[in-house]
Structure 1
Amino acid sequence: MSSLFTGTERDRLFRQLQMPWYNLVPNAGVSLEPYALYHCHPVSQQQISRMKDAAERVGTVLSHLWSVIRGFDEETLLEYGFPEETVRVIKFDGLPPFCMRLDWCWNEQEEVYKVIEANVQTPSFWFECLEGNTKVAEHFGFKPAETQIQPVLRNSINQAIKRAANWLGKSLDRCNIAMTTLDNPEDMGTMRWLSKFVDQPHQVFEIEQLRIKDHQYLFNERSGEAIDILFMWYPVEWAIFDRDPNGQELWSALEELILKRKLVIVNFASAFALQPKSIFALITDLGLDFFSPEQAETVFDLFPKTVQTSEEMGDTYFGKPVFGRQGEGCFSVIAGEISDQSPNQDPWYTDQFYVYQELLKFPTIDLANKEMTALWSTWLFNDGTDHFVPAGIGLRVSEGKITDDYSYWCPIGIAN
């Protein structure tokens, strides 16, 4: 018999799904830790419909905000935490993001429905939401929570690639397309899965093989082939510090290729305009009057108050780094005292600028005799007209109150 975390049936299911990252290696160790739960959490069609509607409303606000941010001067971008090195490419790259993953405090019992952040540049959790849920639901005799969602992804990513070719001024059939990310089971496994939705010929390889030739072009070291359009699952805030094997910094050369339109990186600088957690503080700062009546209603209903100084929140709030990922560096404060914090307090995160959000009560789910905190995610995909279409919903659960690298993917489905 299998438990939620281990067992023969669990191993067999996730291997059949070709999901090599169903167990993960934590940052601090070498032993495998369970990630995918051998379980299907029941959801209602009403909840799925409400979440997709809410996600679409949020996407409209963020799509508008994207153009606003790109119009800011350098001083304003720096004020909201954008690294100085990224300013030129953010303002230059006119290709909107092709996707984003929204994370939610979706607490039906408390009637709290707030989007807590948008993961736009290098978002993970694709496979789990767009294919994994369906396969696990079928395994346990549940109905899929969503249907016909993979065609939305296929249309979106191919529209993005076509627009990239137009941005370069080249015909699509003359563009060399590549997809790359870090060489680990989750990142490469996800990228190989994602690549099956790209209709044009392309190559997939580890980011460690990526090289720049004398400020002239980007290429795959293994094949030597120059790249025109790159889909790179890698954070911009890391890329600005990267160096080659000889210790030479790489950002200036990469920036030059982008600015000269010798290269387009899909969902890179354009998506980074919406990646910092400080854009939620920007929404608060702009105020409801800045938005159209419909957008203002969405901001009022679905966005939490977010500010750049803790004093503005009083003595109870949630703090997160501007470029935090997987909950790292986060903490909550109640009545002036830290009540919870993520296990990873690495200086890379804790030395960043912080934003402070109203402290929300997250829902909990009882699993394996444990009360686990539930974090819901919804996907949005650009349909090619800069309207973001909802497709893909996922659930992460954690034993602590802050979702982090040790949280689990909990598949969902509709009970028959």
Structure 2
Amino acid sequence: MLLTEQASPYALYHCQQVSPQTIREIKQASEVVGCVLMQAWSVIRNLDEEALLYYGFPEESIRLVKYDALAPFCMRLDWCWNEQTGVKKVVETNSQTPSFWFECTVGNHRVAEHFGLRSPDVNAHDTLKFTLNQHIKRAAVFLDKPFEECEVVFTTLNNAEDLGTMQWLSSHVHRSTIMPLEFLRIQDGKCLFDQRTGKSIDILFMWYPLEWAIHDTDENGERLWPALEKLILERKVVIVNFGSAFALQPKSVFALIYDLGLDFFSGKDAETIFEYFPKTSLNKNDIRDSYFAKPILGREGEGGFAVNSGRITAKSTSNNPWYTEQAYVYQELLEFPKVEIVGQSMTAVWGAWLYNNGYDKFIAGGLGMRVSEGEITDNIAYWCPVGC
């Protein structure tokens, strides 16, 4: 299973057998975590600019974060789910990434069948299809335009993984098209359109980090963000899972939840935070001398490092200055589970998808496992299919 022109394998020819109870527990835990995150989203939208800057939101993103009232559609939670030690903590939310989506929704089912095991979640695909179409229709209402008259487009970076995922995703929505990001154009502040066809776009499903978009320029060096932001604010286009999703993307959101305190949340949400959220802070002294540090706008493990009893014990293999020069967030150090695959011990991270059910409540979708030879899961980790 190789990506185009990729020398190292993306997935392992293996299917890790897990119990149906484990799958059920991870999904249930993900849903209650989703309730806390939806509450956090409401809080974030009402914070003032000074507070958002404190928690690491780029200044250029703030207006859209506070404006976008169309709630997030989906996210992938990453879990340290260690049944041997009893440590079951959600380590971060990834609400603006297309990665590890097909694998959790369809891939596990196909591989499990190949190895003579049962699918870990037979309803994952139907859940995605139903909620996606429901959310696209909500976007049309938000735009105040009949859905049948809306031009729906899916776009992302032009690479095998991201574009392939978007092609698969768009196949679930009737009358939608897909295009590489580089063909997206803005016309005189009036509309967003496809350069190839000239068609204007009403609803855009764009998997591209907002923190990158605010810095993009055209061929003349002019910043593109002001024009795009204007179109969104004037409701000339709706970008699904963009501003609202970015509100939950920074790793500092978990620090905000801890800063609000358990008394701020309802009894059930407070219990969820106590049980499933690791202690997280913008100040490493709050976590003492054992913690995991990661950039506030970190992705794929970039720039992360672990400190145990004051000593660095693990560092990411990827340390692009874009990430390492950011402010960091600090999280209590967790012991991730190990799985034995072909005689080799690997670190396992669970990913679990959540979808907006149409009433701004997150429901569980597919889930899956990534494994890495080192202690930090990054962009060279393997997909390890699972079955029951």
Give the SS at the match of 1:33.
coil
Q: Distance in 2 between matches of 1:259 and 1:406?
A: 38
**Structure 1 residue aligned with 2:344, among 338, 348, 370?**
370
Q: Distance in 1 between matches of 2:6 and 2:250?
A: 32
Q: Which residue of 1 aligns with 2:2?
A: 23
Aligned-residue identity in percent: 57
Q: Which residue of 1 aligns with 2:193?
A: 219
Q: Distance in 2 between matches of 1:219 and 1:33?
A: 37
- Pair 1:203 & 2:177 matched: yes
Q: Distance in 2 between matches of 1:312 and 1:369?
A: 39
Q: Distance in 1 between matches of 2:346 and 2:300?
A: 16
Q: Which residue of 2 aligns with 1:302?
A: 276
**Structure 2 residue aligned with 1:263, among 226, 232, 237?**
237
**Structure 2 residue aligned with 1:57, among 12, 18, 32?**
32
Aligned pair count reads 388
- Pair 1:333 & 2:307 matched: yes
Give the SS at the match of 2:365.
strand
Q: Which residue of 1 aligns with 2:104?
A: 129
- Pair 1:249 & 2:228 matched: no
Q: Which residue of 2 aligns with 1:4?
A: none
AA matched with 2:142? W
Shift of 1:225: 0.7
Q: Which residue of 2 aligns with 1:411?
A: 385
C-alpha contact (below 8 Å) 1:134/1:144 kept by paired residues: yes
Q: Which residue of 1 aligns with 2:260?
A: 286
Give the SS at the match of 2:90.
strand
In the alignment, structure 2 segments of 5+ residues that lack a partner are none
1:79-158 map, 5 Å: 79-158=54-133
State the Cα deviation string for residues 367-386 of structure 1 (Å, max 9, x = none).
Answer: 13211000001111111011
AA matched with 1:23? L
Q: Distance in 2 between matches of 1:349 and 1:376?
A: 23
AA matched with 1:237? E
Q: Distance in 1 between matches of 2:298 and 2:341?
A: 27
C-alpha contact (below 8 Å) 1:396/1:410 kept by paired residues: yes
C-alpha contact (below 8 Å) 1:220/1:226 kept by paired residues: yes
Q: Distance in 2 between matches of 1:351 and 1:225?
A: 40
Shift of 1:246: 2.1
In the alignment, structure 1 segments of 5+ residues that lack a partner are 1-21
State the Cα deviation string for residues 136-184 of structure 1 (Å, max 9, x = none).
Answer: 0000111111112211111111111111111111111111111001111
Q: Distance in 2 between matches of 1:401 and 1:214?
A: 49
Q: Distance in 2 between matches of 1:23 and 1:330?
A: 26
**Structure 1 residue aligned with 2:298, among 284, 306, 324?**
324
Structure 1 length-normalised TM: 0.92
Q: Distance in 1 between matches of 2:361 and 2:6?
A: 43
C-alpha contact (below 8 Å) 2:98/2:162 kept by paired residues: no
Q: Distance in 1 between matches of 2:141 and 2:69?
A: 11
Shift of 1:123: 4.0
- Pair 1:73 & 2:52 matched: no
Q: Which residue of 1 aligns with 2:141?
A: 166
Segments of 4+ in structure 1 off by > 3 A?
Answer: none
Q: Distance in 2 between matches of 1:251 and 1:158?
A: 28
AA matched with 2:86? E
Q: Which residue of 1 aligns with 2:167?
A: 192
Q: Which residue of 2 aligns with 1:379?
A: 353
State the Cα deviation string for residues 81-107 of structure 1 (Å, max 9, x = none).
Answer: 000001111111100011110000000
Shift of 1:24: 4.0
State the Cα deviation string for residues 210-256 of structure 1 (Å, max 9, x = none).
Answer: 11112211111111111010000100000000011222110000000
C-alpha contact (below 8 Å) 1:101/1:123 kept by paired residues: no
